[in-house]
Amino acid sequence: MNTEKPMSDCHNAKGAIEWWRGAVIYQLYPRSFLDANGDGVGDLRGVLAGLDYVAKLGVDAIWLSPFFTSPMDDFGYDVADYRGVDPIFGSLEHIDAVISKAHELGLKVIIDQVYSHTSDQHRWFSESRQDKNNPKAHWYVWADPKPDGSPPNNWQSVFSGGAWAWEARRQQYYLHNFLTSQPDLNLHNIDVQDALLDVARFWLDRGVDGFRLDALNFAMHDPALRDNPPAARDGRVLTRPFDYQRQLYNRSHANIPAFLERIRDVTNQYNDIFTVAEVVGDAPLDEMKAFTAGGKRLTSAYDFTFLYADALANSLVKDTLGAWRPDDAWPSWAFSNHDAPRAVSRWADEQNREQAARLYAMLLMTLRGNAFLYQGEELGLPQGDVPFDRLQDPEAIANWPLTLGRDGARTPMPWRRDKANAGFSTGDPWLPIDARHIALSIDAQENDAGSMLTFMRALIQLRRKHPALRIGDLDFINDANGALAYYRRDGDEVALCVFNLGDAPIVWRPPAEASASPVMSVGFQGRESALPAVLPPRSGYIALKAK
């Protein structure tokens, strides 16, 4: 078992810097990465074939979105067998091959674990729903109806409508914070916790290097089933009943951190395991810190602050990063993923998309914490256009047309300009390929010195090379005349990171004592030999101070 240490220490029990500290982790969405068998859906053989491309980016790890046995109502986040691989993706032998090849290429492998809920087709639920006396009767959240037959409280599901579904055999309702077909597990039950910890051991024994814990703050509910209070109305157009409530009692129970300590006890029996919580909500900071506190729980956490932001502003970055002190746990950040519209489409107009994509990449790679890079982000892909009749996302379909939905971020990767379906599949893809993506395909950028792909590779390499960028502290420069500016420091190494996120030039030169030389920039005509006095719109640079 590993020796515990304060979270401000970047070294493991052997004295080496923990591999995950400051890592760049590439999110690989298997359904849309590469299809090897021509059925229109990406699979694990496609992942295997594409690993060399991912390794060439210079990232430290891959995060594989769910490949488990599932009816695919929520595309794998409705797990029917935690230990199985869905046939649409392949078999256990295929995931073993992916893990083996990734390790040969120097890549760690992170997989999803969905502990909040299962599919209603999971054998645990099939048994639990039969009656009130079976061995798994209390493995899910069951409640009696009110005297008038209505649900036990006012909780609403994330996707649409009430969060309770009726089961006639038990004469009770079960809780589903997401789809009706995703019943919530009862993690207050220690037997359920034990079963999930056995699942974790199963995958750790197969060689995975860590877990992303999906929807973690939904993992425990208020056993008293108190009604949620209404949310304050701030003038927003609310598209879901869920948004009309403050989520006080259907999630974020105070006992969740104790379960996370049990997870840590398991992962400490293996070597340098990375665990990251997905924290959903309007005020996630306290939970992020609680879930990672003291070196006894998870190693990291991320939220949706950037993922759901409609605009990127200096204040957003300062408020979000400024809340983390050097002695706090290690946060993770993502600008795009499978659950959110791509950042370049949320934060920039089409005319400035290419330059903005580079600027956002530079910002992400200079923040203190781990950087999650979503597949296609390295190509500068905008949000894919998916017409209504091709939508697959249940949330988007239920709330059309006000919810943009997740499908546009999940469209297939473009590999080849000259191939059908951009080389993703020889069959009809499960989601359409946006015509704009074809010109941004991997083969179009692979050998182009001026491409976004080449830029991203250089940026990741710069982060890997310089400890100040990878693991250093972050200190904002407060008087920057509208620029976003900060230092990253590790020992004697100092990196100066400066950004103009706006549409107008900014006149500002860092203090003379900065004495740094630019090593990478966006938005300038040529490479700057000295720190510039004027920052053009949507520009930025990284400068290194000599030791």
Q: Any idea which residues carry the catalytic annotation?
A: 214, 278
Q: Is residue 401 reached through a cis peptide bond, with omega within 30 degrees of 0 on the bond before it?
A: yes
User: How would DSSP label each residue in 130-178?
Assistant: S-SSSTTTTSB-EEPPPTTS--SS--B-SSSSBSEEEETTTTEEEE-SS
d(C-alpha 437, C-alpha 137), whole Å:
49
Q: Which two tokens stand for residue 3?
A: 């020796």
* AA letter at 519: V
CA 511 vs. chain centroid, Å, equals 36
Q: Are 257 and 291 in contact (CB under 8 A)?
A: yes
Tokens 């760690």 sit on residue: 108
Residue reference for tokens 């989601």:
431
CA distance 377 to 361: 8
Closest CA to 500 of 371, 319, 352: 352
Closest to 500 (Cα-Cα) out of 545, 544, 541, 452: 541
First-to-last alpha carbon distance for the chain, in angstroms, is 38
Beta-carbon contacts of 320 under 8 Å, excluding residues fewer than 6 positions away, are 305, 306
DSSP label of 333: E
Q: Residue 278: helix, strand or coil by DSSP?
A: strand
Specify whether the CB–CB gap between 159 and 395 falls below 8 A. Answer: yes
Strand partners, 332: 370
The two tokens of residue 194 are: 């034990």
Decide: 511 and 484 in contact? Cβ < 8 Å.
no
Which residues neighbour 415 within 8 Å (Cβ) at sequence distance 6 or greater? Answer: 34, 422, 423, 424, 441, 442, 443
